[in-house]
Amino acid sequence: MGKNAFIPAHGGYRDLLSYQKSEAVYDLTRLFCERFLKRGDRTIDQMVQAARSGKQNIAEGCQASGTSREMELKLIGVARASLEELLCDYQDFLRVRQSPAWPKNSKEALFVRRLAHRADAPFEAYREFAESRPAETVANIAICLIHQASYLLDRQLRALEQEFLKDGGIRERMTKARLTARRGVWRE
């Protein structure tokens, strides 16, 4: 942001780990629904839309951040809430089938978390497992990914809160820029 500019750089969501994880959750959810749910099941639409909302609201919030910190916070919050809704769907899937959810520190969950550090595109690290493992395993992989994305979004929300407290919103920046311009200090 230039010395007297009041619209900060914004966008750049594709570089955010929260977006990358949410995109992997979306891709995994689409594959999960295609493989394991019956065509016409309303749950498919619900799960895919919750996964899509997770990633799309990050993109929209980051783009809106240049002119509305409030909108950014709301949309990142919606992304987080959408992933929580999706998490419940996967947990329900396991529960109604009397299949166990992996404990947080189980060897399976730790393996999935280690995959997060692979260099390829986020979903590619999980694709082979999502395409070849049984439904219960893929649901547990999705749960692990959702927890990772949710953790990142929670951290992002806390950082946005601190940023707002430090820098304020666009109205404060606009007022400061206007007062600076009135004093004849405005430079382009």
Does 63 reside within a domain?
yes
Q: DSSP strand E in the chain: where? A: none
**Residue 4 is assigned to a structural domain of this protein:** no
For residue 187, is it within any domain?
no
Residue appearing with tokens 């769907």: 89
Number of domains within the chain: 1
Cα–Cα dist 8/160, whole Å: 13
pLDDT band at 1 (very low <50, low <70, confident <90, very high): very low
Q: Is residue 61 part of a domain?
A: yes
Q: What is the pLDDT of residue 64?
A: 87
The parent domain of residue 36 ranges over: 13-180
Task: Establish if 8 belongs to a structural domain.
Answer: no
What residues contact residue 52 under an 8 Å CB cut-off, 6+ apart?
A: 26
Q: Is 113 helix (H, G, I), strand (E, B) or coil?
A: helix
Asked whether 101 and 140 are in contact (CB, 8 A), the reply is: yes
Instruction: Compute the distance between CA of residue 59 and CA of residue 23 in angstroms, rounded to an integer.
Output: 11
pTM to 2 decimal places = 0.85
Give a yes or no: residue 56 inside a domain. yes
The span from the CA of 101 to the CA of 17, in Å, is 25
Q: Is 37 helix (H, G, I), strand (E, B) or coil?
A: coil
Averaged pLDDT, 38-44: 94
Convert the pLDDT of each residue in 75-126 to its tens digit.
999 999 999 999 999 999 999 999 999 999 999 999 999 988 776 668 998 9
